[in-house]
Amino acid sequence: MNSQKPFPFIVRAIIFGLAVAFVVLMIKPDTFDRGRPVVELNTASEERFTLSDSPRTGPVSYADAVKIAAPAVINVYTTKVITEKASPLYSDPFFRYFFGEQLAPRKRLESSLGSGVIVSDKGYVLTNNHVVAGADEIQVALRDGRSAEASVVGTDPESDLAVLKIELKELPSITFSKSVDLRVGDVVLAIGNPFGVGQTVTMGIVSATGRDHLGINTFENFIQTDAAINPGNSGGALINAYGHLIGINTAIFSKSGGSQGIGFAIPVEPAINVMQQIIQSGHVSRGWLGIEVQDITPALAESFDLKNNAGAIIAGILRSGPAAQAGLRPGDIITQIDSESVRDSKDAMNIIAAKKPKSEITIEIIRQGKKIELKGNVTERPSQSKPKR
């Protein structure tokens, strides 16, 4: 009986197996790659821009937003009479006799420009206080070519806002938005009259919100944007991509006097609050305690044995003022007001100012290392400007 050698059979099986493996590897190359770790990447889903019937929307163009808001943004021109200082020789009778007219004090007109926003078809205009401060005459020019003289309803230097009134019919008015809905990165447009060249629109994004400690105003809560804002833009509109007002352009940070991508606008909520108070009473009413507060420096924190720099230290108190009547003393550290945490002196001032005069507040302080809770009544903050009606 002949026995068949197994070697040729094994060779044929190996060749057949390799051939099958080659075919499988060609069809599905990752079949034998099970041991390699798989890294999953977060990939953005496909984005499709949906345009409305008009091609001038969204990322293609913001012309529709400008069309909605621009008619309500006006140019503001102010003039003031400046009396120049008289020559020192004018006090001498001899020289005054011969050169009186030449040495006498001279008056000249000084002109400036800015922007404003029509907030009501009744003719109310919101702008910056520094645009109209000290002006003897105010003229406004609308986008439709009309012009009118404006009167000052009232001003609030501490927030740098002012309300004007013009007498024209069929006035366009801005639509308000809510800047609390703003996110860093949102597209914004600034509309104004930079350098007097005429109404101009610039685009940027929201760079930051809640900016303060800038030393621009007494009360600060700015929207920061990189939309180009230049001299003449003050008092103009900062709008969103839908053409709704989100802020009043107020200031720029610049070493050259021109735009460097850091501009600031007053958010619409505090602007509306100030505007309504001015329209109703001619001035803005804020809470006041009669205290002088300062930030807690690391050195002060160490001397008072504090764990951190949070809070505001009372540096001075008005005698017989609301704070003195509440039992506050110099050296007390305010940590909370009506359950609102106080981070620094600006926080303390803003929280107190937001309270209605004659309202009672609860103040939490640290005195000699101990926490104490006091109650007091705020009064009305002394006005920084006289009401104008």
184 and 237 together in one domain = yes
Q: Is residue 146 part of a domain?
A: yes
d(CA 68, CA 292): 45
- Percent of the chain having pLDDT more than 70? 73
36 burial via Cβ count (<10 Å: 0-12, 13-18, 19+): exposed
Highest mean pLDDT among 5-14, 48-57, 250-259: 250-259
> Which listed residue (130, 179, 283, 347) is catalytic?
130
Domain assignment present for residue 186? The answer is: yes
Last residue of a domain, one of 281, 302, 336: 281
Q: Does the active-site annotation cover 52? A: no
How many domains would you assign to the chain? 3
For the stretch 313-328, pLDDT in tens is 999 999 889 999 999 9
Tell me the per-residue pLDDT of 328-386, one tens digit each, with 9 for 90 and over.
999 999 999 998 999 888 889 889 998 988 899 999 999 988 999 999 999 998 865 54
Share of the chain above pLDDT 90, in %: 45
Does residue 43 fall inside a structural domain? no
Whether residue 121 is found in the same domain as residue 152: yes
201 with 130, same domain: the answer is no
Evaluate whether residue 52 is within a structural domain. no
Q: Provide the whole-model pTM.
A: 0.72
pLDDT (0 to 100) of residue 21: 61
| Per-residue pLDDT, 258 | 62
> Catalytic site residue 130?
yes
Q: Say if residue 291 is in the same domain as residue 221.
A: no
Query: Of residues 115, 156, 160, 207, which has the active-site annotation?
Result: 160
CATH number (domain holding residue 297): 2.30.42.10
Same domain membership, residue 157 and residue 123: yes
Return all residues near 347 (Cβ < 8 A) that are at least 6 apart: 312, 340, 341
Whether residues 146 and 183 share a domain: the answer is no
End-to-end Cα spacing for the chain: 130
Q: Please check whether residue 256 lies inside any domain of the structure.
A: yes
61 among known catalytic residues: no
Q: Does 264 lie in the same domain as 319? A: no
Q: Which residues pair with 263 in a beta bridge?
A: 225, 252
Q: What is the DSSP string of 15-68?
A: HHHHHHHHHHHHH-TTTT-TTSPPPPP--PPP--PPP-SSSSSTTT--HHHHHH
pLDDT digits (tens, 9 = 90+) for 166-213: 999 999 999 988 656 789 999 999 999 998 888 999 999 999 988 877
- Predicted confidence at residue 179, as pLDDT, reads 58
Q: CA-CA distance, 191 to 246, in Å (whole number)?
A: 12
Query: Is 33 inside a domain boundary?
Result: no
What average pLDDT does the segment 38-67 reach? Answer: 52
> Which CATH number fits the domain that encloses residue 117?
2.40.10.10
Give the start-end residues of each E strand in 88-175. Answer: 107-118, 124-127, 137-141, 147-156, 161-166
H helical segments located in the chain: 7-27, 63-69, 93-103, 129-132, 268-281, 298-303, 322-326, 345-353
Q: Tell me the residue range of the domain where 76 lies.
A: 68-166
Catalytic: which of 115, 177, 234, 259?
A: 234
In a domain, 44, yes or no: no
Q: 274 and 230 in one domain?
A: yes
Q: Taking a C-beta distance cutoff of 8 angstroms, is the pair 269, 179 a contact?
A: yes
Indicate if 273 and 291 belong to the same structural domain.
no
Domain boundary (237, 259, 281) is at 281
pLDDT at residue 118, rounded to an integer:
94
| Residue showing tokens 């809640």 | 210
Instruction: Say what the pLDDT of residue 101 is.
Output: 62
Residue 109 and residue 199 in one domain: no
- Asked if 271 and 332 sit in the same domain, the reply is no
CA distances, 155 to each of 12, 384, 388 (Å): 100, 9, 8
Residue 61 maps to a domain: no
Residues 231 and 162 in one domain: no
Q: Which of residues 111, 133, 166 is at a domain's end? A: 166
